Amino acid sequence: MELLHSRILGDGKPLLILHGFLGMSDNWKTLGNQFANDGFQVHLIDQRNHGKSFHSDEFDYEILSQDLSNYMEHYQVSEANIIGHSMGGKTAMKFSISHPNHVSKLIVADISPKYYPPHHQYIVNALTQLDFNSIGSRKQADEILSQHLADFGIRQFLLKNLYWVEQGKLGLRFNLDVLKDRMEEIGESIPATSTFEGPTLFLRGDRSEYILPNDYSEIQKHFPQADIKTIDKAGHWLHAENPKQFFEKAANFLNS
C-alpha cells in the first residue's frame, strides 16, 4: 500500500484538507496554520499524481477515496473533519458517502455533486508545451506558458509545481501524462442514490460558476444537512482569493 504524502500541523481534532486538480497541499499552508492555531490537527494532503505523493496510472474518485481511507488507517485517525476544494471536494464527497462513520463534518469548496464536462483542456494544452530538456528556469517556463495562458494567477498556481528533478533539470510535480487522459473522470458526478447524512457546508465563490442556484436541489438530495454559503469577491479559488472570509465561515461551522 502506497501512502499519500502530507504535512501535519498542530494538535487537536483531525482536519484533513484536500487540494484541487493540478494543485498540492502547499496551496493550503497559510490556511492550514490558521486552522492549527484554532485547535485542529491539520493534515495537508497531496492526492495521488499530485504534489509529493506517488504517481499511478490508476485515477478515479473510487481510488482517491480509498487512498484517503488508507491514510486515515495509517495515522490511526478514526474520525475527522474534511475540507475538499474542487477535485478534492469530489474526493471528500465520495469518501463521506462511502465512510460516513469516519467523517465528523464535511466542507466542500466550490464544486457540486453534478457531472462537469472536461474544461481544463486549454491548461493541459499549455502545459504540454513545456519542454524541460530546454527550460532551465521558472522565468523561461512562465514565458512559454504566457504564450498560451494569459491569466497570470493561473500561471503562478501551475508554476508552484516546478521543482528540480536533478541538478540542472526542472520538472512538474503532478503527473501530467496520466491526468491529461483522465479529464472525463475528474468531472464525474456522485452516484445518483448516494447520500451523506452528516453536517455539511458547501462554500461557493460569488464570481464562480461551479455552484449555481439550480444546483442547490442536487446538493440537498445527496447531502440533506447541507448549508450553502457564498464567499464574497471570489471565484473558483475562493480560499486563495478571500482567505479571511473562507476561514471565518469554515471555522464557525467546524466549531459550532
Interatomic CA distance for residues 6 and 8, integer angstroms:
6
Q: Specify whether the CB–CB gap between 43 and 15 falls below 8 A.
A: yes
The pLDDT assigned to 96 comes to 98
177 given a catalytic annotation: yes
- Beta strands (DSSP E) in the chain are 6-9, 13-18, 40-45, 80-85, 103-109, 162-166, 169-172, 200-205, 226-231
Q: Has residue 1 got a pLDDT over 90? A: no
112 plus 203 within the same structural domain? yes
98 plus 12 within the same structural domain? yes
Q: Specify whether the CB–CB gap between 97 and 196 falls below 8 A.
A: yes
Residue 1: inside a domain, yes or no?
no
80 plus 164 within the same structural domain? no
Binning pLDDT at 50, 70 and 90, where does residue 23 land? very high
86 given a catalytic annotation: yes
Judged by DSSP in three states, 39 sits in: coil
Helices 138-146 & 152-159 angle (0-180, nearest 10): 140
Q: Write the pLDDT tens digit of every residue in 60-116.
A: 999 999 999 999 999 999 999 999 999 999 999 999 999 999 999 999 999 999 999
Residue 32: inside a domain, yes or no?
yes
The mean pLDDT value of the chain amounts to 96
53 plus 93 within the same structural domain? yes
192 plus 233 within the same structural domain? yes
Q: Write the pLDDT tens digit of every residue in 193-239.
A: 999 999 999 999 999 999 999 999 999 999 999 999 999 999 999 99
**Catalytic entry in 57, 151, 177, 227:** 177
**Catalytic entry in 19, 43, 102, 236:** 236
174 plus 192 within the same structural domain? no
Sign of CA dihedral 128, 60, 173, 166: negative
Distances (CA, A) of 155 to 34, 44, 184: 26, 22, 23
129 plus 223 within the same structural domain? no
- The structural domain count of the chain equals 2
Length of the chain: 256
109 plus 150 within the same structural domain? no
150 plus 244 within the same structural domain? no
Q: Has residue 28 got a pLDDT over 90? A: yes
Q: Has residue 32 got a pLDDT over 90? A: yes
71 plus 153 within the same structural domain? no
The pLDDT assigned to 159 comes to 94
197 plus 81 within the same structural domain? yes
Q: Which domain holds residue 245?
A: 6-116+187-255
CATH number at residue 232: 3.40.50.1820
Sign of CA dihedral 89, 246, 180, 43: negative
**Catalytic entry in 86, 96, 98, 112:** 86
198 plus 153 within the same structural domain? no
85 given a catalytic annotation: no
The pLDDT assigned to 168 comes to 86
